Amino acid sequence: MNAWGLNTYLYAPKDDLKHRALWRELYFPAEEESLRAIIQRCQQRELRFIYALSPGLDIRYSQEPELECLKKRFEQMLALGCRDFALLFDDIPDRMEPRDRERWDSFAAAQCHVTNAIFRWLRERNVTGRLLFCPTPYCGRMAERKLGGEGCLEIVGRELLPEIDVFWTGPEIISREIPLAHIEAITALLRRKPLIWDNLHANDYDGRRFYCGPYSGRATAVRGAVSGLLVNPNNEFPLNYVPLRTLAEFVRCDGSWHARKAYLDAMRHWLSYFEIVGHTVTFHDLVLLGDCFYLPHEEGPEAQEFYALTRRLFAAEPAKWGGEVIAFRKRATQLRDCCARLTELRHRPLFYALSRRLWELREELDLLLGYVRHKTEGGNPDTPCRSDFHLPGTYRGGMVPRLQHLLIQHSDGTLTPNHAASAQRQRNVAANQPAPNTPP
């Protein structure tokens, strides 16, 4: 981060139980030493370390002991060298305790009261420290749905002290684009420039995916319209090379931002991490692979082209495949073999981060190649195709895939029952039932 010109590290991991679930509990001495080391290493590299606490799951806003708990937690961090803090009220129950409701008529007012009190307390101890605040509605869709109550953001803009920064993720939780006009509109509501906390590369909501595409969908003009720019990265540290490098390029670039060019440049540098035993991963291999795990709303162009080719092929009768089957085999084999070779990565942390996702991709490619081989190499192409390695129950099986087949999500986001899948499941169950009076 230091070498690439980034300057801020926000500490807010949910796997630290004392960040969220156990927010009232102080750190033990061993935990203190770990945090002290992180803070010192950030300071040595001129990185601003921000410690975030998320008390919103069960805080009782009107009770003074709760405020004292927050102060003790931050006092402990001040003693470890931390100077900047954040209070997060995201992803919490949208309701207040009865005693809190008697004192405040809105969720936002209660949160602002607590945050303002902590800010004043912190300023008495460090006049230059920053305090960041995450409201319960932290994106445009949440605000439209009135999460946190009617006029929540207007209340935050009016009642939260103007020195406190407010987090915002854009039109959506994971925003494909963050237009300048959107930033200007939220600035008017909050009465301050928002602090973007970008989820473009976060993958904590889908364990089957990661995102190594470039920082994109944001014009450089956004930089001057916000008070800061933070990103939530992939959970797996080694997978964040391209996201962080391209973010750094975006922050300091002059003129227009060319996301794809920045991606290709970052991939050339990331390639040095992909040394494997006995083989070579080419730049073209890596770009094709990265394009398969690009961004939440899109694959990279080479992956899009490969998918379009494959879809055209499988939509046609095998007798009409023609030359496209050769192009498909070449690209699918290249990608499948690359996934297989990467099991021999010398950089084992990178292997562990990639392995499950790459092997799943390899299995799908192997199945597609087997299907094409069955339809084109001798015999009757009308005979059913089976695989000795992709068997019912062990392949694409498990509770999660079964549940995923019950609803169809359409391109407009609406959901409808998958009646065809339900009927097929019933037929499968019926087919597997033992005959009457036959022991199972």
Task: Kindly list the catalytic residues.
Answer: 91
**Dist. CA 231–CA 197, nearest whole Å:** 5
Contact at 8 Å (CB) between 321 and 376?
yes
Residue 43 burial (C-beta neighbours within 10 Å; 0-12, 13-18, 19+): middle
Half-sphere exposure of residue 390, counting CA atoms within 13 Å on the CB side? Answer: 15
**Dist. CA 197–CA 5, nearest whole Å:** 18
Q: How many CB atoms lie within 10 A of CB 126?
A: 13
Q: Report DSSP state, residue 401.
A: H
**Dist. CA 357–CA 263, nearest whole Å:** 21
User: In the block, which residue shows the tokens 């080479």?
Assistant: 302
Q: Rounded to a whole number, what is the distance in angstroms from the first to the last CA of the chain?
A: 61
For the beta sheet containing 165-168, the strands, ordered from the edge strand earlier in sequence to the opposite edge, are: 8-11, 48-53, 84-88, 131-134, 165-168, 195-198, 228-231
Contact at 8 Å (CB) between 242 and 266?
yes
Alpha helices (H) along 137-258? 140-144, 152-159, 180-190, 222-225, 241-252
**Dist. CA 33–CA 27, nearest whole Å:** 10
Q: Which residue in 178, 293, 283 sits closest to 234, CA to CA?
A: 293
